[in-house]
Amino acid sequence: MTALAARPDLPDHAPHILVVDDDRRLRDLLSRFLYENGYRVTAAASAAEARAKGANLVFDALVLDVMMPGETGFDYARQIRLTSQVPILMLTARSNPNDRVTGLEIGADDYLPKPFDPRELILRLNNILRRNARSENPGSAVPLDAVRFGPFLFRVERGELTRDDEPIRLSEREREILTILALAKGGNVAREALTGGAEAGNERTIDVQMNRLRRKVEDDPANPRYVQTVRGVGYRLVLD
């Protein structure tokens, strides 16, 4: 297995992970598990193969085995760190505690001893991706293209809404409305800007759509805290 075809429900901006391990069975299992958990995956059986794939692709993180014949995971990680700070999660032999120290000295972000629960790998990978995102935007836990309101984070460019890192499914119309409100940065948005026109039918439709959106983000949709009506004007999104 070298790469998994994109799932129909997997967005293009889903994190792309490079799995490097000479054990084909483990490599395929990890690739399948990551893929099923929302990651795009490319796999390589050696450092040389990984380097060739990296020449044409950009990865969000690497899952890298230490013990590989020829060029080891440590050797490859050292070479990567000469030019890149891409997050690296190293897979090490449980019987060798020195692997952790060596990996961290090289610049690996985390390590996981074999054998391991694949769920732990997902948790550790999520953590290093989150830390990397924060380091690229110091002083803020909110990406530059996102707005936060309460427990919700809306990534404007991606059109993604999450609550405490859990995705919330939006319809295309709900995504459009939330994008317009978010770009207003807490300011008032006229109804016409949300309906695309001033026709009465459109205005009644926007009320229905706003109610549906509120059911997804409000504890009490009848008394909204975040998606508020501005009487005589339209709506506003109350940001943190």
Strand 88-93 versus strand 227-230 pairing type: unpaired
**Domain covering 16-136, topology:** Rossmann fold (3.40.50)
| CA–CA dist 17, 41 (Å, integer) | 5
CA angle 122, 34, 140 (to 5 degrees): 50
pLDDT digits (tens, 9 = 90+) for 29-72: 999 989 888 888 999 999 999 999 988 888 999 999 998 988 99
Contact 87, 112 (CB under 8 A): no
Element (H, E) at 235: strand 234-237
Question: Residue 157, Cα to own-chain centre: how many angstroms?
Answer: 13
Average pLDDT, stretch 5-26?
A: 76
- CATH number of this structure's domain 146-237: 1.10.10.10
- Do strands 110-114 and 146-149 pair parallel, antiparallel, or not at all (unpaired)? unpaired
Q: Which carries the bigger pLDDT value, residue 4 or residue 94?
A: 94
Integer Cα distance of 170 and 149 in angstroms:
16
Q: How far apart are CA 36 and CA 30, in angstroms?
A: 10
Between residues 139 and 209, the one the model is more confident about: 209
Strand ranges across the sheet with 152-155: 146-149, 152-155, 160-163, 166-168
- Residue 157 CA to residue 34 CA, distance in Å, equals 24
pLDDT in tens, 22-36: 999 999 999 998 988
The mean pLDDT of 151-161, rounded to a whole number, is 87
Alpha-carbon 82 to chain mean position: 26
**Could you give the strand order of the β-sheet that contains 189-190, starting from the edge strand earlier in sequence?**
189-190, 234-237, 227-230
Give the residue, 145 or 122, on which the prediction is more confident: 122
Burial of 157 (C-beta count, 10 Å sphere; 0-12/13-18/19+): exposed
pLDDT of residue 138: 46
197 pLDDT band, cuts 50/70/90, is: very low
Residue 160 is encoded by which pair of tokens? Answer: 């993604």
Lowest model confidence (mean pLDDT) among 86-95, 135-144, 176-185: 135-144
Is the pLDDT at 5 greater than 60, yes or no? no
Q: Is the pTM of this model over 0.75?
A: no
Query: Which amino acid is residue 228, in one-letter code?
Result: Q
Q: Could you tell me if 108 and 85 are in contact, meaning their C-beta atoms sit under 8 angstroms apart?
A: no
Cβ 200 vs Cβ 187: under 8 Å: no
Question: What are the domain boundaries of the chain?
Answer: 16-136, 146-237
